[in-house]
Chains A and B, each alone.
With several copies, the nearest count.
Chain A
Amino acid sequence: MTSSTIIDDLKKKKILALLKEGQRIDGRALDEPRQLTIDTGVIPKAEGSARVRLGDTEVVCGVKVQPDKPFPDLGDRGIFICTAEILPLADPSAEPGPPGEEVIELARVVDRGIRESGMVDLKQLVLEKDKSVVGIFIDNSVTDYDGNLFDACSYASVASVLSCKLPKFKYDSSNGSVSKVEGEFSAPPITTIPVSVTMGKIGDTIIVDPNADEWSCMDGRITITTNAAGNICAVQKGGHDGFTPEQLVQCSKISIATGAKIRDILKQAGGS
């Protein structure tokens, strides 16, 4: 491990030295995300799916749509659940087993960013109030790790949902059973396209979309999700250092500007 630690140390020093001159280790501008490539429909058996590459981070996402019972007290809306998992082949340090706090935070932040934006109008997913609703289950699997899983999983989720074909279900009130109407599909009820933008803070420099090298030496982290109207719909700060109030405002502006560009890519990928 010693030699790898020395290389890590050298890399960290390099990153810090470059940032002082406003440069990044991979040549990007401070507010420039990595190249984003999206393929949808990669899992034909799933109702929606996408493979997303954000730099060298890769995520495969699949959507399953199934009838379900609504949550208690939420009988007037469908179910929408977004998960994330780092597959053990994505990273030498990943281990099979129950998710740690990092992965739980990842899944919850991705889920919340999309949910709080109201992207999918869950009220249109009710088959029978309080009895039966449509559930949309979005599972993200990270297959290659190069930092910033928050945005990669968020984009994969959004693209999968945009590309999703919603089967038609029929509720039979005589016996409470639900059946699928073969061959009938519709687009999901989309209201907006949320875009997550994650920024790292190294020293006092804010960088957009940190790669794995930057991720491992950053002091703080903030993920801001914006909707199509340019409003902010979710924020999550992480990392062992704080942000000044001014930096928080700066980050919100970056997230709106960068979000708008990425929203165009997502729209195109989703075919809408």
Chain B
Amino acid sequence: MGVKKTDIVLLDENGIRCDGRKINEPRRIMIKAGVLKNANGSAYIEFGENKILAGVFGPRDVHPKHLANTDRGILRCRYHMQPFSVGERKNPAPSRREIEISKVIKEALEPALMLENFPRTVVDVFIEILQADGGSRCAALDAAAVALADAGIPMRDMVSACAAGKVADTIVLDINNEEDQEGQADMPVAYMPNLGKVTLIQLDGVLTPQEYEKCVNTALEGCKLVYEVQKKALQEKFFGDDAK
């Protein structure tokens, strides 16, 4: 009541963020694998207020055929927001933003997939944002990677994603919506935790070279936390509650 957006205290004197988290604390993450009946693999993630569904089909025949690659399978990826996923109703046609995110997600997943085993085929990853919050591309990637594993696509490594950013002159883990709007920088990162490679990195906002390095490392710590949640989701799917 009467509180304007810009009056939000992003970080208080005790190092507590606007949603009560500490600097290095991610939001609540819940992943469930194998949630769809038709898809070859699927996963549902809740990451903060993000609610995202990922489904995988393939390896399967490519249509139209001229898109097929004789050397290796191809990966296609669609990141798509539901009309009701954001504050103002979104037009369901894919925006330029969604097309770009689809591309960077595809390139973040590709290094982990052994597509050379499946020439002339395609693996399709469909990501549907049911409810969007800050960091939706990282959460989408996390769900997509679990869905690929659930589909039994051979993978070199998991792909785990988490953002870091700069808020009130401080590097913090896992930017939420308010921090994204009012903060100083947002850096989504995807990581193959065993191969040690960053497969997605973007940055919007200004960082000194020192802050940049710290931000990368903070995000990587987040990716490792996500990785544990992803593994747990797959264990629960394949080995049931015993795995807990």
A: which residues have CB within 8 A of B?
Answer: 42-46, 49, 56, 58, 60-64, 66, 83, 85, 87-92, 96, 101-102, 104-105, 107-108, 112, 116-118, 137, 139, 141, 143-146, 182-183, 222, 227, 230-245, 248-249, 252-253, 256
Min distance, Cβ A204 to any Cβ of chain B, angstroms: 11
A26-B192 Cα distance, complex, nearest whole Å: 34
Beyond A116-B204, A240-B110, whether A87 also contacts B128 by CB under 8 A is: yes
Partner of B92, one of A91, A139, A232: A139
Whether A44 and B78, one on each chain, are in contact in the complex, defined by CB atoms closer than 8 angstroms, is no
| Given known A89-B42, A92-B38, A252-B209, contact A243–B201 (CB-CB < 8 A) | yes
Q: B197 to A244, Cβ gap below 8 A?
A: yes
Q: Are B201 and A235 in contact (CB under 8 A)?
A: yes
Q: A45-B49, A45-B86 are in contact. Are A146 and B100 (CB under 8 A)?
A: no
Q: Are A88 and B78 in contact (CB under 8 A)?
A: yes
Whether, in the assembled complex, B66 has its beta carbon less than 8 Å from a beta carbon of chain A, the answer is no
Docked Cα-Cα span, A158 to B126, in Å, equals 27
Chain B contacts for A87, CB-based, 8 A: 53, 55, 80, 126, 128
Q: Are B88 and A232 in contact (CB under 8 A)?
A: no
Q: A62 and B84: CB pair below 8 A?
A: yes
Q: A141 touching B82 by the CB < 8 A rule?
A: yes
Complex interface: chain A residues within 8 A of B83 (CB)? 62, 64, 83, 137, 139
6 A-B contacts (beta carbon < 8 Å)? A43-B85, A88-B55, A88-B124, A101-B100, A101-B103, A238-B103
Q: Does B240 contact A (CB under 8 A)?
A: no
| Distance, CA A144 to CA B179, complexed state (A) | 34
Contact status B202-A237, CB under 8 Å: yes
Interface size on B, residues (CB 8 A): 63
Q: Closest CB-CB distance, B136 to chain A, in whole Å?
A: 12
Min CB distance A97 to B, Å, is: 9
Given the known inter-chain contacts A139-B92, A237-B202, please indicate yes or no for A89 contacting B36, CB distance below 8 A: yes
Contact B198 A245 (CB under 8 A): yes
Q: A-facing mask of B104-144, CB < 8 A → 1, else 0?
A: 10010011000000000000101010111000000000000
> Which of A66, A118, A145 meets B88, CB within 8 Å?
A66
Closest to B192 in A: A242
Q: Give the contact stretch, choosing among B13-21, B25-33, B211-219, B226-234.
A: B211-219
Contact between B206 and A231 (Cβ–Cβ < 8 Å)? Answer: yes
Chain A residues in 8 Å Cβ range of B213: 249, 252
Q: Is B65 an interface residue (CB 8 A)?
A: no
Q: Does B200 contact A (CB under 8 A)?
A: yes
Write the nearest CB–CB distance from A6 to chain B, whole angstroms: 15
Interfacial residues of chain B within 38-63, with CB under 8 A of chain A in the complex: 38-39, 42, 49, 51, 53-55, 57, 60
Give Cα distance in the complex from A145 to B97, angstroms. 25
Q: Quick check: A227 and B36 within 8 Å, CB to CB?
A: no
With A62-B82, A139-B92 in contact, is A90–B130 under 8 Å at CB? no
- Least CB distance from B82 to A in Å reads 6
A237 contact from B87, B97, B200, Cβ within 8 A: B200
Report chain A residues within 8 Å CB of B208: 231-232
**B206 nearest CB across to chain A (Å):** 5
- Of the listed residues B124, B187, B203, the one surrounded by the most CB atoms of chain A closer than 10 A to its CB is B203
Contact (Cβ within 8 A) B99 A101: yes
Q: Which residues of A contact B196 (CB under 8 A)?
A: 244-245
Known contacts A117-B206, A236-B202, A237-B202, then 6 further A-B pairs from the complex at CB < 8 Å, ordered by chain A residue: A58-B36, A64-B89, A92-B38, A237-B104, A240-B111, A249-B213
